[in-house]
Amino acid sequence: MKNKRWILLVTAMLAIVTTLAACHTGGVTQNDKETVKIAYLPITHAVPLFVEQELFQDDFKNVDLELVKFSSWADILDALNTGDVQGASILVELALKAKEQGANIKTVALGHREGNVVIVSDEINYVDDLIGKSFAIPHVNSAHNILTYKMLTNAGFNLDEMNIISMPPGKMPKALVSGEIAGYCVAEPFGSRSVVTGNGKVLFKSSELWSNSVCCSLVLSDEFINNNHDAAQELVNKYLIAGEKVQQEDEEDKEIKEIVKKYLNVSNEELDLSLQWTSYENLTFNRADYDNMIYYMNKMKLLNNPPTYEDFVDNSFIENISK
């Protein structure tokens, strides 16, 4: 009887040790694959993740990808900080601010290029018409805030001459209709939604305000990168392929759009316009783009002690693909 109890005790201890070893890697090992949980918001700027999940999951040798939907950027940051997820598709400016405050994350690829627009109500025709009115952005640490700053300063105004408020993206189209706001700048598909429904119009595209602007990125925790290099490499490989597939989709090929509509509540017309505005090519976060972003964030007093490019960006996975 004592021997039997001893065997049961040893077995239980071995099970605990095995579980702890798996957790230490930053994910959970299942069938010789490393589970990596990636957080996202349901926006067009996370499309490469959706395509990667749907088209390449069965092809992974080292990764078991699990996408985790969130409703706010704050919740995504909390999940990253607590280790509930190992990565995220997130506003790169917000990720940079989190890194400045001690978050152990690195950007391994951008999420997209362009794909942001300034939407205004019908009576707004010039930047001057927005002065003194309310204007919405999703977060102070965002490309949308920088684009708003550029829009105002290019026209000779300051940020404090317009009432800039933070608002969840999904509420912006309705707020425009109700008159709560006169305009907004946000991730897709919420800009195209107002245009397609006829409730708003485009005042500026991001390319007209900030050339080569950066908005969202794929970040991974340092722990996951350090302990699961092969898994991280495979994740980035398929992520970039997914982006290329989205970019190359023919108008007659509906596969990508059907995938996206599984993750987004969006009409065909909204999605067509949204994808037309957004590019998923050239997802390397280069130093020039980084320096440009830092310049504007410093000018807007959004940073205190920004991390260096090397501390925040890990291009090694993209570079390994091209070798």
Name the pLDDT band for 15 (thresholds 50, 70, 90). Answer: very low
**CB neighbour list of residue 221: distance below 8 Å, 6 or more residues apart:** 26, 80, 83, 86, 87, 104, 105
Whether pLDDT at 66 is above 60: yes
The secondary structure of residue 308, as a DSSP letter, is P
Could you tell me if 9 and 49 lie in one domain?
Answer: yes
Residue 22, pLDDT > 80, answer no
201 and 151 in one domain?
yes
Measured CA to CA in angstroms, residue 265 lies from 41, 47, 54, 220, 271 at distances of 12, 13, 17, 27, 10
pLDDT in tens, 99-139: 999 999 999 999 999 999 999 999 999 999 999 999 999 99
The last residue of a domain, from among 174, 193, 209: 209
> Which whole number is the average pLDDT over 51-59?
93
CA distance 254 to 67: 22
CA dist., res. 246 & res. 259, Å (int): 10
What pLDDT does 212 receive? 86
Q: 223 and 204 in one domain?
A: no
pTM over 0.75: yes
Q: What is the DSSP letter of 313?
A: B
Q: Which of 209, 236, 256 is the last residue of a domain?
A: 209
| 3-state helix, strand and coil shares in percent for the chain, rounded to the nearest 5 | 50, 20, 30
Question: How many independent structural domains does the chain possess?
Answer: 2
Residues 248 and 199 placed together within one structural domain of the fold: no
Domain residues for the domain of 163 are 117-209
Last residue of a domain, one of 194, 209, 224: 209
Q: Which residue has the tokens 């933070």?
A: 166
Q: What are the tens digits of pLDDT across the range 29-50? A: 556 788 999 999 999 999 999 9
Say yes or no: 228 and 162 in one domain.
Answer: no
CATH number, domain of 145, equals 3.40.190.10
Strand partners of residue 113: 279
* pLDDT tens digits for range 152-192: 999 999 999 999 999 999 999 999 999 999 999 999 999 99
Clarify whether residues 290 and 247 are in a common domain.
yes
